[in-house]
Structure 1
Amino acid sequence: MIPIKTPKKLIEVALPLDAINAAAAREKSIRHGHPSTLHLWWARRPLAAARAVIFAQMVNDPGYERHLGRGVNKEKASLERERLFKIIEELVLWENTNNEEVLERARAEIRRSWRETCALNRNHPQAAELFNPDKLPAFHDPFAGGGAIPLEAQRLGLESHASDLNPVAVTINKAMIEIPPRFAGRKPVGPLPKGEKQTLLMEDWPGARGLAEDVRRYGAWMRAEAEQRVGHLYPKITVTAEMAAERSDLKPLVGQSLTVIAWLWARTVRSPNPAFSHVEVPLASTFVLSSKAGKEAYVQPVVDGDRYRFTVKVGTPPESAKNGTKLSRGANFRCLMSDTPIEPRYIKAEGIAGRMCAKLMAIVAEGARGRVYLSPIAEHEQRAASAQPAWRPETQLPDDPRNFWTLNYGLSKFGDLFTSRQLVALTTFSDLVQEAIEKCRQDALAAGIADDGAGLDGGGSGATAYAQAVGVYLGLIASKATMFINSLSRWRAGEGKTAPAFGRQAIAMVWDFADVNPFAGAGGDFQGVVDGGAKALAA
């Protein structure tokens, strides 16, 4: 067997690690246009590092002995190595992710090294098959995960192939690597969202920008259509004189209807104290709504006999508000009515018995000068309770209490992680994906795109396949929206916004949660998820 001659690669000798590390660290703070915003995936690899490593793996080190026994001038090799380092230092910058001039210099070096390798192996019996100087070797990643490595291989000019065992990872990789080249250069076919003006008719749509624009347009259509269908479940709140009687900050807002950003709920169980066993008491980890300087707000429970209600106050929260009804770490709380300790085993038993409920604690609305925190009103609680989902996921969560903490508290099915209102909204968005695909197909036909009858999985590139391609991204967007539209999202008092469910690589138990309004134009709004996905695709 004739051995293959493999020149020593740049990665085996040296790398400009400081530049790579700095670019990779900076990339963590970049969200708009980053592929990671398309959909959540664990352990994302920095694009900068992937790009640099692939380049250094493909490019020959200048110092290897090219002519059988002849040494290489070390000084010359060092200068050449520095030149390659300069390419890497430019290559890893986020601003150069799609800089064709920088990318083409990198591709040229890869092609040059490959031709050199082919020349070394020209006498190999399989040279025609394995060492074609005009065709770069293909890149294969069998466990591609979030797809950073095969994506960057494609960007550097290699034919990229990615696979994974997880269907979410497979879909992400198809969306980032396989689909965009098939529809590159296409103009968008969808109508502009209502209220937007037409741009230049001869606008250029290089790469996947046309496809990304259609994802944005049909995503906007989905949001508008969903609001028409289920928007009544997400009412505005009108500030009344009664509300402002004890809140001077509300007086300028009397009579105004404010858009609700989120409804803040606390889970409840029946009091373990026999005297109040008929009362569902809150399990609140905090009563603080806003800790921003000058904009502090908190919930103040008012106990009246065997009843209680929540009121919202502004100003510096008292020390007692910081921990709500929580006594210590874990599921350790106190009864709001009697101060009786509520032990974890009692809460678990109540949850498993199906007796864990939720009570509206506060309403967060959008005012002219920022967030407005309001006391709960019965109408809004009743509106949420009126939602009747036509479908509820009955699939059991994995039997893994270490990573799925909700199991211990009776939330054992996927459907248990959502309120009825949230299920109605998410089902509506999911149904609209299919409707958007058909709408896109009709619009594509009207725009003159022929229908070859083949779908996306059949290698098609006509109207049907294009509409299905748009549907892939809309499906990912609808899926990503569940990160906010669930009963495990927290309210961040320090930032005045909702934190998505996955604060860690686990399904953690959340005692007081933020029920976001997907039509509010704030964090968790469906259009925000759409725009993020479209920008990631366009980039």
Structure 2
Amino acid sequence: MSQTYKKKLIEVAIPLEAINAASAREKSIRHGHPSTLHLWWARRPLAACRAVLFAQLVDDPSEYADKLLDDPKIREKAEADLAIRLKAWRDRRPDVQGNVPDTPEPTLKDCAADIERKRLFEIIEELVLWENSTNEEVLERARAEIRRSCGGVLPPVYDPFSGGGSIPLEAQRLGLPAYGSDLNPVAVMIGKAMIEIPPKFKDMPPIHPGAKERSFYRNAEGLAEDVKYYGEWMREKAWERIGHLYPQVDLPKEYGSGKGTAIAWIWARTVPSPDPAYADVHVPITTSFMLSSKPGKEAWIEPKVDRTKKAIAFVAHNAGTKAEIAKAKEGTKAGRGANFRCLLSDSAITSEYVKKIAQSGGMGQMLIAVATEGKNGRVFVSPTADQETVAVDVERQRAPGIALPNHSQYVGVLGYGFETFGDLFSSRQLVALNSFSDLVEEVRAQILADAVAAGLPADAEPLRLGGLGAQGYADAVSVYLGFCVSKSADYWSNLCTWRSDPKNLGVGHVFARQAIPMVWDFAEANPFSKSSGNFLTSLDWIVRVVRELPSATSGEIRQVDAQSVEYPAGSVISTDPPYYDSIPYADISDFFYSWLRGTLRTTFPDQLNTIAVPKMEELVADRMRHGGADAAEAFFLTGMTSAIGRMCGHSSPDYPAAIYYAFKQSEVEQEGISSTGWATFLQAIMDAGYSVVGTWPVRTELANRTRASGSNALANSVVLVCRKKEAAAEVVTRAEFIRALKRELPPAIAELQAANIAPADMPQSAIGPGMGVFSRYKAVLESDDSPMSVKTALQLINRELDEYLGGIQGEFDADTRFAITWFEQHGMAKGDYGAADNLARARGISVESVKHAGIVESAAGKVRILARDELDDDWGPEADGHLTVWECLQHLVRKYEKDGISHETAVLLKKIDAKAEAVKDLAYCLYDISANKRKDAKEATAYNALIADWTELTRQAAAIHDTSGDRQIRLDI
């Protein structure tokens, strides 16, 4: 079947290591990162989105290799490369059956295309770096490549599940018309703030009084300056109105006496003592009495119990002994869950008792400490009656009335007396949030007046109708100020924690994870302090983001169900749909929606017109909403098939679609790569009319180890590259599909290995070529003529991958093959000599041979494989008369574990150069055994890490000409 389209780079190869490294690093970047504009869950890394979009749009060099060869320099290099590749192709090793791999003979065009791909890779490697996200020189180089491949006409990019807006934002950064949509109004508002508003006021100076004159304001810098000015105006007005509710604190004498500004008031929830003798006394239920665990500056709370007076007082200490600190860490907890002990009677406070009291309205709170800003850091002060009274005696103001969702998995406060989102805020917190909310409306009027005075047209056209005059500008600035209020709510809730660890000492926000957790001792932030949780910090985060937002092209974010999207003509689809049984973001985003609606409803009435976020239409398999697992799966499959079918029917045939799938580690651990969610999602894609032509595993999490890319963990996302299925697709039998799989999958896996895909990512990567075979057919029929399911196809692809990795073993030396089997059966433990002897004889060798090779220890009738730390420190491959692939790998892993990517590790790889490819193959093989058969995560991680850094090690090794220290040597081993 002839190809009717130009193949794009993403369909052939991408620099996955560079993309993954930049994506993982991005998680640690805060200042100016768009994710800090407003919280949204499960954002895709900007680096990955940028790289994927570029690779979707740029032609693969195989499409213009003939023209490349017209360049004498490229032809000369291609001819040199071809000579090397032809030799390797002729010398390719036979498999275990003696068959030579059926790979096509390399051509001059192949070599020219690879040279050009390397150039494109270098563009991507620069493009994905966070430091280059505003580098116009780097961005323009990428834009020029896109324009060249697109004939100068840039297609619109559409993300129908735009969420946090990463994909349309990066499309905009690359100069493409950017469109997105989402059903969730919180996501839509975030998208509008990031993508729609900045281009409308591009390069415009600020309008506030007293603005400094500058010759030029770039992009949204002027807008950002106004957001900062009017946000500070709001803060001052709020202080005038409610500042008296946040009184200063008397400092201890040892800290200079006088007054200090409170950072946070730390409260403990309380219940009546379960002991009848103290039933009229409320006692604290706390997880900890620690205030600071910073070495040398430990601070803690001492509860002073007076059983005679039936009273508990709390004393804050800014120093303590090890014993005092250890006891403070325990709080009043007594086991897991809501189980505590009574400070008065030491009797048990059970989870059932706490729930009973809470549901009857009997749970209270008491102030247990105050954190203040001292001259030399934090000072913790004992609570006073005045400090408690000023907070408790505040009249409760209007509160969000949306009922909390009945999702105990994600809403931990259920059963403890919390019924609405308004219950998640104390009286003083509600006063603060309402005061700042009201000020958004007031500041809009002030901005409007100042904008007219600054010369903007005094029209009455609002922002939502395209207004670019004074009214539109006032609306725009107020959007970001409304975000300040919503963002502050995350820190002004009675579910905020006090973080005592040295790195994060301060108020923690509610959504530290994608859930609403129950918090027993909470921190009430001071909106007017200079520490975590204050209003100006939220404002500063937002200003930093707005200042750096791209404004190269216009963008539009709509509120619409993905099944009803009207796509612009010729759209390129790049999207991150909801995960199969994802967290129901519609439920937990009501936390923010309540405040956004209160501040911005007049600005965007169409998006903020419902009482709560729409839920039933949210495209996730939610068992609670749909009455069970089967109904939820049917809802998801039907809806996702419809949504993706609409994409497929309206997207440009000139470009592949890129669809992200968010994996969960447990998904593979429990069910393998053919899990229900993954299979259901792929089924929806193929039922919609797409064929999967590639899969790229993208890592988006920063691992807690130096070599993050080498950790033995699953990639967090898979990017599926999809093309519309050919109309003339044929129907085949199961047997025909398996034959095609056996023919096409091995060379594809070999190419993935050559590209150094990490072993942990290989199952996901192999799905691409495997599903490419399956999805190109109209149907694959089982023996009973029923169509094969995607899940069955995935299982067959997995089986072929296992057979391929197992088949590699036949290519190793006999001693290595013995070691592989022995390791698979025994790991590093001892086994009987007789079994080892039989195994060795079957491979035409003896146990003594394996022992002589330095692989095993054999003594007292037992045999075991030597651990890496037992290997000869003075070993060198050039002097080893009995060299094996096993030894080369184990010595290389040991050196790598010790020194990482270093000159010493590269020298060793250079020395084993002739066996390097076999060593890499063995690392894949042993990873598979360690991870999937022996369940030895530590051993699997060692091999995964080495492969993850193989490209860099190979590059460094290639640059080494003298491995002896004083002379150049040749190795023939």
1:238 partner amino acid: D
1:441 Cα offset (Å): 0.6
Match of 1:310 in 2: 314
Q: Measure, in 1, the Cα distance between the counterparts of 2:215 and 2:350.
A: 64
8 Å contact 1:267–1:511 — kept in the other structure?
yes
> TM-score, with normalisation over the residues of structure 2?
0.51
Matches within 5 A, 1:526-537: 526-537=535-546
- Larger CA deviation: 305-314 vs 517-526: 305-314
1:285 Cα offset (Å): 0.6
1:517 to 514, 526, 535: 526
Matched, 1:449 2:448: no
Q: Measure, in 2, the Cα distance between the counterparts of 1:450 and 1:75.
A: 60
Q: Measure, in 2, the Cα distance between the counterparts of 1:386 and 1:379.
A: 10
Match of 2:61 in 1: 62
Q: Deviations over 1:286-343 (max 9, x none)?
A: 0111111111111111111211111112223343211111001100001110001001
Match of 1:212 in 2: 224
Moved over 3 A (4+): 65-68
1:251 to 254, 261, 264: 254
1:500 partner amino acid: H
Match of 2:294 in 1: 292
Residues 389, 204 of structure 1: alpha-carbon distance in 2 compared, 3 angstrom cutoff: farther
Q: Measure, in 2, the Cα distance between the counterparts of 1:160 and 1:502.
A: 29
Matches within 5 A, 1:118-517: 134-191=152-209, 199=212, 201-239=213-251, 244=252, 250-254=253-257, 256-304=258-306, 305=308, 306-313=310-317, 314-316=319-321, 317-495=324-502, 496-517=505-526
Match of 2:904 in 1: none
Q: Measure, in 1, the Cα distance between the counterparts of 2:62 and 2:473.
A: 48
Residues 72, 53 of structure 1: alpha-carbon distance in 2 compared, 3 angstrom cutoff: farther
1:271 Cα offset (Å): 0.8
1:404 Cα offset (Å): 1.1
Residues 220, 398 of structure 1: alpha-carbon distance in 2 compared, 3 angstrom cutoff: same
1:404 counterpart SS class: coil
Which ranges in structure 1 are unaligned for 5 or more consecutive residues?
116-133, 193-197, 245-249
Match of 1:84 in 2: 120
Q: Measure, in 1, the Cα distance between the counterparts of 2:415 and 2:59.
A: 56
Residues 252, 40 of structure 1: alpha-carbon distance in 2 compared, 3 angstrom cutoff: closer
2:542 counterpart SS class: helix
8 Å contact 1:64–1:72 — kept in the other structure?
no
Q: Deviations over 1:340-378 (max 9, x none)?
A: 100101100111111111000001001000000110011
Match of 2:46 in 1: 47
Q: Measure, in 2, the Cα distance between the counterparts of 1:143 and 1:469.
A: 24
8 Å contact 2:30–2:36 — kept in the other structure?
yes
Q: Measure, in 2, the Cα distance between the counterparts of 1:252 and 1:416.
A: 37
1:4 Cα offset (Å): 9.3
1:141 Cα offset (Å): 0.6
Which ranges in structure 2 are unaligned for 5 or more consecutive residues?
70-106, 549-973
Match of 1:119 in 2: none
1:470 partner amino acid: V
1:143 partner amino acid: F
1:109 partner amino acid: E
Q: Measure, in 2, the Cα distance between the counterparts of 1:492 and 1:191.
A: 40
8 Å contact 1:63–1:72 — kept in the other structure?
no
1:327 counterpart SS class: coil
1:226 Cα offset (Å): 0.8
Q: Measure, in 2, the Cα distance between the counterparts of 1:321 and 1:327.
A: 13
Aligned residue pairs: how many? 502
1:65 Cα offset (Å): 6.0
1:15 Cα offset (Å): 1.0
1:312 counterpart SS class: strand
Match of 2:949 in 1: none
Q: Measure, in 2, the Cα distance between the counterparts of 1:162 and 1:471.
A: 22
- Larger CA deviation: 313-322 vs 265-274: 313-322
Residues 216, 276 of structure 1: alpha-carbon distance in 2 compared, 3 angstrom cutoff: same
- Larger CA deviation: 218-227 vs 258-267: 218-227
2:407 counterpart SS class: coil
8 Å contact 1:63–1:77 — kept in the other structure?
yes
Q: Deviations over 1:238-293 (max 9, x none)?
A: 23xxxx5xxxxx42412x11000000000001111111000000001101111111
8 Å contact 1:312–1:362 — kept in the other structure?
yes
Q: Measure, in 2, the Cα distance between the counterparts of 1:407 and 1:418.
A: 15
Q: Measure, in 1, the Cα distance between the counterparts of 2:352 and 2:396.
A: 31
Q: Measure, in 1, the Cα distance between the counterparts of 2:527 and 2:127.
A: 38
1:310 partner amino acid: F
1:487 partner amino acid: N
Q: Deviations over 1:470-503 (max 9, x none)?
A: 1111111110101100101111111321111112
> TM-score, with normalisation over the residues of structure 1?
0.91
1:386 partner amino acid: D
Match of 1:538 in 2: 547
- Larger CA deviation: 327-336 vs 399-408: 399-408
- Greater helix share, structure number: 2
Q: Measure, in 2, the Cα distance between the counterparts of 1:386 and 1:4.
A: 75
2:453 partner amino acid: A
Q: Measure, in 1, the Cα distance between the counterparts of 2:481 and 2:402.
A: 23
Q: Measure, in 2, the Cα distance between the counterparts of 1:202 and 1:506.
A: 45
1:360 counterpart SS class: strand
- Whose RCO is larger (CA < 8 A, sep 6+)? 1
Q: Measure, in 1, the Cα distance between the counterparts of 2:23 and 2:531.
A: 29
1:393 Cα offset (Å): 2.1
Query: What is the RMSD of the two structures over their aligned residues, measured on CA atoms?
Result: 1.7
2:316 counterpart SS class: strand
Match of 2:693 in 1: none
8 Å contact 1:37–1:532 — kept in the other structure?
yes
2:413 counterpart SS class: helix
1:78 Cα offset (Å): 1.4
Q: Deviations over 1:83-116 (max 9, x none)?
A: 111110110111110111111110110010111x
1:281 partner amino acid: V
Q: Deviations over 1:148-183 (max 9, x none)?
A: 011001111110111101001100111111111011
Q: Measure, in 2, the Cα distance between the counterparts of 1:363 and 1:353.
A: 29
Matched, 1:104 2:122: no
1:430 counterpart SS class: helix
1:17 Cα offset (Å): 1.2
Q: Alignment identity in percent?
A: 53
Q: Measure, in 1, the Cα distance between the counterparts of 2:478 and 2:255.
A: 45
8 Å contact 1:191–1:217 — kept in the other structure?
no
Q: Measure, in 2, the Cα distance between the counterparts of 1:190 and 1:379.
A: 40
Q: Measure, in 2, the Cα distance between the counterparts of 1:65 and 1:34.
A: 37
1:395 partner amino acid: I
Match of 1:124 in 2: none
